[in-house]
Amino acid sequence: MSEAPQLRSRIGAILRATSGNFLEQFDFFLFGFYASAIAKAFFPSENETAALLNTFGVFWLGALMRPVGAVVLGAYIDRIGRRQGLIVTLTIMAFGTVVIAFCPSYATIGVAAPVIVLLGRLLQGFSAGVELGGVSVYLAEISTPGNRGFYTSFQSSSQQVAIFVAAIIGFVLSESMPAETVAAWGWRIPFFIGCLIIPVIFFLRRTLEETPEFLAMKKHPTASEVFASAIANWRIVILGMMIAVLTTTTFYFITVYTPTFGKTVLKLSAQDALLVTLLVAVTNFIWNPVGGAVSDRIGRKPVLVTIAGLSFLTAYPALHWLVSDPSFGKLLAVQMMFSFYFGTYSGTMLGALVEIVPKHVRTTCFSLAFALAAALFGTFTPFASTWLIQQTGDKASPCYWLMFGATLGIIAALTVYRGGKTIAVQDTVAA
């Protein structure tokens, strides 16, 4: 095959593999942006902060299903194959999305409403637990030599397209409808649009081909062998989780939480908060492959430690400067800085995580490490940020959460790449 058809084939494979990430992040972002409206619809309370905490609490509870999905669905993908597994995860994710989009409000069906929303979030979290890992492993296994970081970075870049599209829809909606209408029922429109996209994504996923690396394996592990290997490599899973924490906390802060932060804390307009988020999605898309490509050339460790160190040192000064006199320009500047940190670090982290987990149970161990980071830290970011501001009275206090993530990243990277060598893994499955 000549070079041009090969390039088109690889681009097509990347697009088909990452299409499911679009649905996942599209819905996640909408849940964060319309948190206030969702709180009123499903978690009515006289205290706005309490209603928001309930909403973000459900958002986080859904994420707690990620580790479960990582183990159960990860074992399935490592045993059955990447292609079939990614179709199954998409099916579960789509069902959860439809449930949330069409769930009646609390005023209509009472306490059943928040219960149904929670079930929808649990399904989404279960699927999301392996979606990122499954896609990252797929991209790693179709990558060309010396470009694994660059290829896997497009898993994260694809999510930024979802944020971009969701932000545009939200911006148009806020411009064309009164705020009261959006809060009452207009917030459901983007979720309905997400439902309409589902058939297209299914078509793309069904045309995926299995990776040559998976097909070349002489033996595919059984579920019990996958679980045994994950337990045997618990140390590398924990270190992988620690490396991924900065990615998840920064991502949810600059995308899911920013619209709420801009409107309720900084008192900026919904349009300003949306526009900043839209621009952040664009720069996130750019910085991810840059980070992956740079780490392919100079190594994962230098990029991970440098970015985590910068994040730790600048988080508080940047947020303190922003909240002292909030403005659109300041919010944009601060978020552009965090976007650079997130994209460069994430593009590197994905390649690193694929490489440090055992080959024959890549999907399970990768997914479990990232799912733990997302469940315990990343998706907890909106809740933690809201709680920190409420408890301290300091609008810049979410920086402490980001600094904590940076600290974990530095410790884990230095441990994994100690002495210039990657920590050894124990592969309990014969090739």
The answer to whether 410 touches 309, Cβ cutoff 8 Å, is: yes
Q: For the segment 61-99, what is each residue's pLDDT rounded down to a tens digit? A: 777 888 888 888 888 888 888 888 888 888 888 888 888
Q: Which range among 40-44, 48-52, 152-156, 396-400 shows the weakest confidence by mean pLDDT?
A: 48-52
What is the value of pTM for the model shown? 0.82
What residue ranges do the domains of the chain occupy? 3-203+220-420
State pLDDT tens for residues 395-413: 999 999 999 999 999 999 9
- As a dihedral over the C-alpha atoms of residue 89, residue 91, residue 93, residue 96, rounded to 10 degrees, the angle is -140
Residue 4 — very low, low, confident or very high, per pLDDT cuts 50/70/90? Answer: low
The encoded tokens of residue 94 equal: 């789509």
Q: Answer left, alpha or beta for residue 423, where phi above 0 means left and psi between -120 and 50 means alpha.
A: beta
- Greater pLDDT, 307 or 48: 307
What CA–CA distance (Å, rounded) separates 69 from 430? Answer: 25
| Burial group, residue 10, by CB count within 10 angstroms (0-12, 13-18, 19+) | middle
pLDDT of residue 143: 87
Query: What is residue 80's predicted lDDT score, i.e. its pLDDT?
Result: 84
3-state secondary structure of 430: coil
Q: What is the DSSP secondary-structure string of 76-145? A: HHHHH-HHHHHHHHHHHHHHHHHHHHHPPPHHHHTTHHHHHHHHHHHHHHHHHHHHHHHHHHHHHHHPPT
pLDDT at 41 over 70: yes
Residue pLDDT, tens place only, 182-191: 888 888 898 8
Using alpha carbons, select from 221, 54, 234, 19 the residue that is nearest to residue 135: 19
CA nearest 312: which of 386, 403, 188, 185?
Answer: 403
Neighbours of 176 (CB within 10 A): 10
Tens digits of per-residue pLDDT, 5-28? 566 777 888 888 888 777 777 877
Cβ neighbours around 44 below 10 Å, total:
14
- Which tens digit of pLDDT belongs to each residue from 345-373? 999 999 999 999 888 788 889 989 998 99
Residue 349: its pLDDT value, please? 95
State the chain's mean pLDDT as an integer.
Answer: 85
Q: Which residues of 350-371 are buried (b: 16+ CB within 10 A; e: fewer)?
A: bbbbbbbbbbbbbbbbbbbbbb
Give residue-wise pLDDT tens across range 254-304. Answer: 987 887 888 888 888 877 887 888 899 899 999 999 999 999 999 999 999
- Backbone φ and ψ of 147, nearest 5°: -130, 25
Residue with tokens 């019990």: 224
Average pLDDT of the segment spanning 306-320 = 97
Q: pLDDT above 90 covers what percent of the chain?
A: 32
Amino acid in the structure at residue 1: M
Which are the contacts of 80, defined by CB distance < 8 A and separation ≥ 6? 220
Q: State the maximum Cα–Cα separation within the chain, in Å, rounded to a whole number.
A: 65
Q: Is the pLDDT of residue 39 over 90?
A: no
Domain 3-203+220-420 has CATH 1.20.1250.20: yes
Average pLDDT over residues 147-176: 86
Q: Please give the pLDDT value at position 431.
A: 41
Query: What's the CA gap between 300 and 298, in Å, rounded?
Result: 7
Contact at 8 Å (CB) between 96 and 123? yes
Residue 430 pLDDT grade (very low, low, confident, very high; cuts 50, 70, 90): very low
Determine the pLDDT at residue 164.
83
| Average pLDDT of the segment spanning 299-318 | 96
Tell me which H or E stretch contains 426. Answer: none
Nearest to 127 by CA among 102, 164, 98: 98
Q: Report how far Cα 297 is from the mean position of its chain's Cα atoms.
A: 25
Poorest-pLDDT segment among 48-52, 153-157, 324-328, 407-411: 48-52
Q: Could you give the C-alpha distances from 45 to 41, 42, 49, 67, 385, in angstroms and in order? A: 10, 10, 9, 31, 20
Q: Check residue 421 and give its pLDDT.
A: 58
Residue 40's pLDDT band (cuts 50, 70, 90): confident
Query: How many CB atoms neighbour CB 327 within 10 A?
Result: 12
pLDDT above 70 coverage of the chain, percent: 92
Above 90 in pLDDT, residue 145?
A: no
Phi, psi of 180 (to 5 degrees): -65, -35
Give the rounded distance of the alpha carbon of 271 from its chain centre: 23
The answer, yes or no, to whether residue 330 has pLDDT greater than 80, is: yes
The per-residue pLDDT for 342 is: 96
Q: Are 220 and 359 in contact (CB under 8 A)?
A: no
CA geometry: angle 371, 373, 374, nearest 5 deg: 65
